[in-house]
């Protein structure tokens, strides 16, 4: 019969087994997560033409997938809306309308992600990663397409910023929104 007193060898063996089982499980989960990030990053690189592995991995770590890239394209709108530390219904409406114009449907995972970003502030890494993505995308576009993309994004972020301020909710851009818009302009210049 095995003794199971606090100092018995069997008790220590059981504790070691539990500890190493938990460590193995965590390591296995970390390995799976890294593998999933690497696979998603590879898919992102294939679809977007991005050649920067670190950028693609940063996007994958933000749970951006090939299916949710359309929402990621609209990230600057969300960042401008959160510039005042809250999103109002007018801003949410403008963001949703921009998503619909981009072809997103309510049942799309990209729309679900976008809606989540308008309900709970996304991490700062989202905007930082979008800036890196925009710079990489800019390099792969012709001058005409670059100007068109810049014009479209800047119009959309201005629409979002103006949605919450001014008379009856339209027309005024706050200083914090203006600062974010200036950052977007710089990235797209």
pLDDT tens digits, one per residue of 110-127 = 899 999 999 999 999 999
Its pTM surpasses 0.85: no
148: left (phi over 0), alpha (psi -120 to 50) or beta: alpha
Q: Work out the end-to-end distance of the chain between its first and last CA atoms, rounded to an integer number of angstroms.
A: 77
Share of the chain above pLDDT 90, in %: 36
pLDDT digits (tens, 9 = 90+) for 172-182: 788 999 999 99
Residue 67 has a pLDDT of 77
User: Nearest to residue 75, comparing CAs of 138, 20, 131, 34?
Assistant: 131
Mean pLDDT lowest among 91-95, 147-151, 170-174:
170-174
Q: Provide the 3-class DSSP secondary structure of residue 90.
A: helix
Residue 47 has a pLDDT of 74
Q: With bands split at pLDDT 50, 70 and 90, how would you rate the model's confidence at 154?
A: very high
Distance (Å, rounded) from C-alpha 177 to C-alpha 78?
11
pLDDT digits (tens, 9 = 90+) for 23-72: 666 766 666 777 788 888 888 777 776 778 888 888 888 777 777 777 88
8-state DSSP, 121: P
Distance (Å, rounded) from C-alpha 13 to C-alpha 46?
49
Q: With bands split at pLDDT 50, 70 and 90, how would you rate the model's confidence at 82?
A: very high
């Amino acid at each position: 019969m095995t003794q199971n007193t606090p100092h018995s060898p069997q008790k220590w063996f059981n504790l070691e087994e539990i500890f190493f089982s938990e460590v193995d499980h965590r390591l296995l989960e970390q390995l799976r997560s890294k593998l999933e990030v690497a696979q998603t990053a590879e898919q992102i690189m294939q679809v977007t033409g991005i050649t920067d592995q670190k950028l693609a991995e940063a996007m994958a770590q933000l749970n951006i997938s090939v299916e949710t890239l359309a929402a990621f394209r609209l990230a600057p709108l969300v960042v401008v809306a959160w510039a005042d530390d809250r999103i109002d219904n007018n801003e949410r409406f403008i963001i949703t309308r921009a998503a619909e114009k981009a072809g997103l449907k309510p049942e799309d995972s990209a729309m679900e992600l976008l809606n989540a970003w308008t309900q709970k502030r996304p991490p700062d890494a989202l905007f930082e990663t979008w800036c890196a993505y925009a710079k990489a995308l800019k390099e792969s576009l012709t001058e005409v397409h670059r100007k068109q993309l810049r014009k479209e994004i800047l119009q959309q972020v201005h629409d979002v910023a103006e949605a919450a301020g001014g008379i009856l909710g339209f027309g005024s851009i706050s200083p914090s929104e203006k600062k974010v818009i200036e950052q977007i302009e710089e990235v797209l210049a």
